[in-house]
Amino acid sequence: MATYKEKLSILSEMIEFAKVDGKIKEPEFNFLLGVADQLGVDRETFNSLFVSETEHVVPKSQADRILQFHRLVLLMNVDSVQEDFEVTRLHNIGLGMGLPPAAIQQVLTVMKQYPGGVVPPKVLIDIFKVHYN
């Protein structure tokens, strides 16, 4: 399980990603709030992440990095809009986490085949498994 510091970093990264288009839409905010709740981060701390920076911590395990990438894919698609700059940003975040470039690209391509761009977790995991074996 992630440390509290890692949880704040996860949320902070997601908030910054949501801001990439200049505004956070209500569906994005609600999704972020749900993730904060899942991670056990209280509302006050969650709100503070919108105005203050948190130390960025790359998730240690490959599974945690893939999970974070999946969260970001879901966040990008929560408003049913995928701008090219969001896809590019997501691709770069995945690279920064050390994920295989081909797997990242495959996920970004496959998401177009699913309603709302929601890639099922099993499909995502299978994509990454292929690139790690």
Domain that holds residue 71: 4-132
Could you say which DSSP state residue 60 is in? S
- Give the mean model confidence (pLDDT) for residues 4-14: 93
Domain count of the fold of the chain: 1
- Whole-number pLDDT of residue 1: 61
Cα distances from 129 to residues 23, 39, 48, 80, 90, in angstroms, run: 35, 25, 36, 27, 20
- What is the pTM for the complete model shown? 0.90
- Whole-number pLDDT of residue 82: 76
Compute φ and ψ for 69, nearest 5 degrees: -60, -40
pLDDT digits (tens, 9 = 90+) for 72-100: 999 998 887 778 888 999 999 999 999 99
Does position 132 have pLDDT exceeding 80, yes or no?
no
